[in-house]
Amino acid sequence: MTGDLYRRYAEARARKSPLLQNCVKAFVTGGMICAGGEALRRGFLALGSTQKTAGVLVAGTLIVLTALLTGLGVFDKLAKHAGCGTLVPITGFANSVAAEAIDSKPEGYIAGVGTKIFSIAGPVILYGTAAGTVFGVIYWLVIRFR
């Protein structure tokens, strides 16, 4: 079977995705995660934290909650239902790291978890840093030659 023939075969039998429904679910879920983060921030501020400290505490809390929910299998069920709405950067990143650690645990803590925990996170760090550098240079050039 040729590649083109297989592609047509697969497209004819693939279930069509409800695009609008998926977009709404992702938007609502991502919005709820962000609203929860904002509620945490306001709570930390009410407890006397500075803006900077509250931001750090929110990020840490979201990371810990996501890792915990990933370990309990709850986050994956939510992600299956909500799609990319759960990929709000910090929760998606925490989920990818925690899921990789869980998947590689049978290989041992050193050879499994220790060596593979950042296999998904590594490219995110690399391309995030590269994109930040490129956009920073573009921003600098625009400001400099304005």
pLDDT for 54: 96
Q: Give the model confidence (pLDDT) of 98-129 as tens digits.
A: 877 777 777 777 777 677 776 776 777 778 78
Percent of the chain with pLDDT over 70: 94
Higher-pLDDT residue of 51, 117:
51
Distance of CA 18 to the CA centre of its chain: 22
Q: Where are the domains of the chain?
A: 19-118
Task: Calculate mean pLDDT across residues 21-38.
Answer: 92
User: pLDDT tier at 62 (50, 70, 90 boundaries)?
Assistant: very high
Whether the per-residue pLDDT at 40 is higher than 90: the answer is: yes
